Amino acid sequence: MRRIGASASGNVLIILCAMYFITYVDRVNIATAAPVISKELGLTNTELGIAFSAFAYPYALFQLFGGWLGDRFGPRRTLGICGFVWSLATALTGLASGIVSLFTARLLLGFGEGAAFPTATRAMASWTAADRRGFAQGITHAFSRGANAITSPVVVFLIALVTWRGSFVVMGVVSFLWVIVWYLYFRDDPREHAAITAEELARLPKSAPRRPVPWGRLFPRILPVTMVDFCYGWILWVYINWIPSFFVHSYGLNLKSSSFFTAGVLFAGLVGDTVGGLASDLVLRRTGSVRSARRNVIVLGFLGCFAFTLPLLFIHDLTAAALCLAGAFFFSEFIVAPIWAVPMDIAPQYAGTASGFMNFGFGLAGIFSPIVFGRIIDVTGSWSVPFICSLVLVLVGAGLALRLRPDRPFLDDEPAMGGAAPEPAG
């Protein structure tokens, strides 16, 4: 197992892992509290889906220029401000009195978290060696899926202790503590960090002067990755928003039992994130092909997700459904590390902006997925029908992934629709 601590770069990775964990707790806590919130506020599944999707509107918007903020002003300052906003939004969720105030709080949360992951990727581009990019993206996203897994039982515990409103206030305070640690420890340039060693600096990418972002030329290069990320994002939004309610309504579980089944399913994603990152790096070291290392792992993830999701349309057994959901989520999370490594491979000098362009697809999926899923349930009364849409998008994502070219680095002087000569296909 690779060490991620005991050095300045390792400590930065640990702090980023904590950020991914905290942001996902703040993002998905509403899913566990949803049955209680909807009952107290009198919300339908459609209204609940609208509240879920509120996060994704500013989140998607900030993918387009949130990463640029990290490139332009540096990750230290950008994540400090973002962290303050999402901490405040999380606490304010506990004050919601209806659909409007709940929607507004979630909207503010999307503003706060919108630039977080692209900016974190910009930080990793400076603080991570090239052959550890898959691992770094895998382990950080594994912490986010770990948050998915434990948030449900933790929120249930907090609701019992301080009510659902108090649970959001507690999590807002925890988020703010992270902001303080980040700002005190992190430096945009590793060479400016007091604890960095010459040995570490020799392994890290060379620092490059900040240049204006070539938006018009960079976006077409990242667009294929954006489309793949939309397909992946659709699946993830279904899981983090609707799986707790799926167990409650399809199998008649109470909130406590549902939370533990949900935790078991989402824990599989934690493993998938880690294994996917390690697998991508392993393929890169053995083949020397960036394309094979990213594309093949992504395609495997989509196909595995399809294979485990399909039985959900034909079974109605709690244990079998939970195992299928866990298997599908494991494979869908195989996709995360390699797809987030692709913008770093293509344009490391603009990693924040490039990863933001990519994650715009994820944000768009977050707008449509919760509403469509909830609406289909209200209209059909079935929890199986919405999974058919997911299956279609999983296959589309696998097909699109075959066309990814992370082996073609973006050059500052390349023509608008051009690119460097590709390496042989892996």
What tens digit of pLDDT does each residue of 285-338 get? 888 888 888 999 999 999 999 999 888 888 888 889 889 999 999 999 989 889
Sign, CA dihedral 65-71-76-77, equals negative
Q: What is the pLDDT of residue 16?
A: 94
Q: What is the pLDDT of residue 313?
A: 80
At 418, the pLDDT band (50, 70, 90 cuts) reads very low
> What's phi and psi for 44, nearest 5 deg?
-80, 170
**401-412, pLDDT tens digit by residue?**
998 888 888 875
Closest CA to 7 of 118, 128, 137: 128
Q: What is the pLDDT of residue 415?
A: 52
Whole-angstrom Cα distance, residue 264 to residue 258? 10
Q: Are 151 and 29 in contact (CB under 8 A)?
A: yes
Model confidence, pTM: 0.70
Closest CA to 275 of 292, 256, 258, 297: 297
The domain locations on the chain are 8-202+216-401
Weakest mean pLDDT among 214-218, 406-410, 412-416: 412-416
Whole-angstrom Cα distance, residue 320 to residue 318? 6
Quickly name the fold that domain 8-202+216-401 has.
Growth Hormone; Chain: A; (1.20.1250)
Q: Is the pLDDT of residue 198 over 90?
A: no
Token pair listed for 5:
């601590």
Whole-angstrom Cα distance, residue 77 to residue 314? 50
Q: Are 372 and 381 in contact (CB under 8 A)?
A: no
How confident is the prediction for the chain on average, in pLDDT?
A: 83
| Residue 353 DSSP label | H
Q: Are 210 and 20 in contact (CB under 8 A)?
A: no
Q: How far apart are the first and last CA of the chain?
A: 27
**26-57, pLDDT tens digit by residue?**
887 887 788 888 888 888 777 877 887 788 78
Percent of the chain clearing pLDDT 90 (strictly above): 23
Q: Are 111 and 83 in contact (CB under 8 A)?
A: no
Q: Are 82 and 119 in contact (CB under 8 A)?
A: yes
Whole-angstrom Cα distance, residue 295 to residue 12? 28
- Tell me the CA distances in angstroms from 24 to 110, 220, 230, 396, one per residue in order: 12, 29, 18, 26
Looking at residues 342-370, what average pLDDT do you find?
83
Amino acid identity, residue 58? P
